[in-house]
């Protein structure tokens, strides 16, 4: 697999500087095989995917430029940066031999794998090296579910925050685990260690791997957390309303930046986008200060955790109030739904569901505000 990576990387770098279209590159590849017979040792569809990789990298750059972003140019990839190759349509097989699952790859051979779930209708397999481990990403074709109608009673407003990752309009709160925050000390120690060692030496390499593994662990934990929550919301609800977040503006506050980036809200939104039946973004204007019951404005600083309305006498958690505002603001965006569904009904529903079960560790649950 390392050899295959190296071969692909050579091809990638070789073709990168050539100013040819995708079709011309494919033609060039057939010609190149005459001069470099060692290329025939690799599965030909896989080599074509390298061209596809170059092509999509170029397209991504052009789209960014069109949108007005400043872009650099694509650069040659080093041994460390080139980490994956793809088998498209053919050249792979997953089979069982006794108690072990085997992955067969053309021109590589059999590899024992840990299969996470049964797969069928495989369209593509990507082999990826992540520091010290190898992963196979399996792409399958599924029959597409068709949603005939969305039930507006199954909608939810979600408010995201720093201390609590989520407080939703059914009064469920989930603590923010802040994975990076917990591991800041070992990270700092590890990067100091790397900095002390001579660049290019074997010990420097070891320290670097150690640091990368730490980062990888945080990433895995965070992804696991985000996947579980986003799955929960997309299974329980038809429509999810979210605040439109301006993460880049928020990060300018350097004290909060680490916490905000550590939370992974953007990733959470991305996951919901492909899992949930429908997500709607709501402008966050006044969601924290408006009283969701009577519309009275109650200004508060970050430190005040309770929303207390003098006009209607409502006293609830500030994030709960915000999520109710998001839900109501979102429902206004769906004109058809409005007639059948008023905010009063939402309140009744949320009281019934107060003690909702949650698949995540019970530690992360907040008690509903009394």
Name the site residues for Zn ion (rule: CB under 5 A).
291, 293-294, 296, 309, 311-312, 314
By beta-carbon proximity to Zn ion, the closer residue of 164 and 307 is 307
Nearest approach, Cβ of residue 158 and Zn ion (Å): 22
Q: Token digits for 359? A: 């698949």
Q: Which is nearer to Zn ion, 140 or 311 (CB)?
A: 311
Alpha-carbon distance of 287 to 368, in angstroms, equals 20
Residue 157 Cβ vs Zn ion, minimum distance, rounded to whole Å: 17
**Phi and psi angles of residue 316, each rounded to the nearest 5 degrees, phi first:** -140, 170
Closer to Zn ion by CB, 60 or 294: give it: 294
Which CB atom, from 86 or from 290, has the smaller least distance to Zn ion?
A: 290
User: Looking at residue 297, what DSSP letter applies?
Assistant: B
> Which element (helix H / strand E) includes 135?
strand 133-140
Measured distance CA(97)–CA(247) in Å, rounded: 49
Q: Report the SS3 class of residue 199.
A: coil
Give start and end residues of each alpha helix (H) in the chain. 2-16, 22-35, 44-66, 179-182, 184-196, 202-236, 247-251, 254-263, 265-275, 318-333, 335-338, 343-352
Task: Tell me the closest approach of the beta carbon of residue 311 to Zn ion, in angstroms.
Answer: 5
What is the nearest approach in angstroms of Zn ion to the Cβ of residue 292? 8
Phi, psi of 18 (to 5 degrees): -75, 130
Nearer to Zn ion, 86 or 288 (CB): 288
Minimal distance, residue 316 CB to Zn ion, in Å: 10
> Which residue lies nearer to Zn ion by CB, 131 or 314?
314
Using alpha carbons, list the distances in angstroms from residue 317 to 168, 291, 320, 349.
11, 11, 5, 18
The least CB distance from residue 243 to Zn ion, in Å, is: 20
CB atoms under 10 Å from CB of 358, counted, come to 15
Planar angle of CA 268, 184, 217, nearest 5 degrees? 55
- Residue 1 or 294: the one with the smaller Cβ distance to Zn ion is 294
Is the alpha carbon torsion for 108, 114, 119, 124 positive or negative? negative
- Which CB atom, from 311 or from 332, has the smaller least distance to Zn ion? 311
CA 79 to CA 67: how far, in whole Å?
Answer: 31
Minimal distance, residue 301 CB to Zn ion, in Å: 19
Please, what is the minimum distance in Å from the beta carbon of residue 294 to Zn ion? 3
Phi, psi of 258 (to 5 degrees): -60, -40
User: Minimum CB separation from Zn ion for residue 308, in Å?
Assistant: 9
User: Is the four-CA dihedral 173, 260, 158, 219 of positive or negative sign?
Assistant: negative
């Amino acid at each position: 697999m390392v050899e295959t990576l190296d071969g692909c990387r050579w091809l990638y770098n070789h073709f990168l500087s050539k100013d040819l279209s995708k079709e011309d590159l494919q033609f060039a590849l057939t010609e190149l095989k005459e001069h470099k017979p060692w290329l025939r040792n690799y599965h030909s569809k896989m080599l074509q995917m390298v061209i596809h990789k170059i092509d999509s990298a170029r397209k991504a750059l052009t789209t960014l430029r069109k949108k007005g972003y400043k872009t650099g140019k694509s650069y040659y990839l080093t041994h460390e940066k080139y980490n994956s190759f793809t088998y498209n349509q053919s050249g792979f097989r997953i089979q069982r031999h006794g108690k072990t699952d085997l992955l067969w790859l053309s021109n590589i051979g059999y590899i024992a794998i840990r299969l996470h779930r049964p797969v069928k209708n495989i369209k593509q397999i990507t082999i990826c090296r992540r520091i010290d481990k190898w992963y196979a990403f399996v792409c399958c074709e599924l029959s597409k579910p068709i949603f005939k109608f969305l039930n507006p009673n199954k909608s939810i407003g979600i408010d995201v925050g720093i201390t609590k990752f989520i407080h939703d309009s059914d009064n469920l709160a989930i603590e923010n685990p802040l994975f990076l925050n917990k591991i800041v000390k070992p990270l700092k120690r590890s990067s100091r260690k790397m900095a002390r060692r001579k660049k290019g030496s074997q010990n420097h390499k070891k320290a670097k791997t150690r640091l990368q593994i730490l980062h990888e662990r945080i990433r895995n934990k965070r992804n696991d957390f985000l996947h579980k929550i986003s799955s929960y919301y997309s299974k329980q609800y038809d429509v999810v309303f979210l605040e439109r977040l301006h993460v880049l503006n928020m990060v300018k506050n350097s004290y909060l930046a680490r916490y905000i980036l550590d939370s992974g809200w953007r990733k959470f939104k991305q996951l919901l986008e492909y899992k949930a039946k429908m997500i709607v973004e709501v402008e966050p204007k006044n969601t924290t200060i408006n009283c969701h019951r009577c519309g009275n404005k109650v200004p508060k600083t970050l430190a005040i955790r309770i929303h207390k309305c003098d006009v209607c006498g409502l006293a609830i958690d500030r994030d709960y109030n915000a999520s109710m505002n998001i839900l109501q603001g979102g429902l206004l965006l769906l004109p058809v739904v409005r007639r059948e569904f008023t905010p009063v009904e939402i309140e009744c529903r949320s009281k019934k569901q107060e003690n909702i079960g949650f698949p995540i560790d019970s530690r992360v649950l907040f008690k509903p505000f009394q």
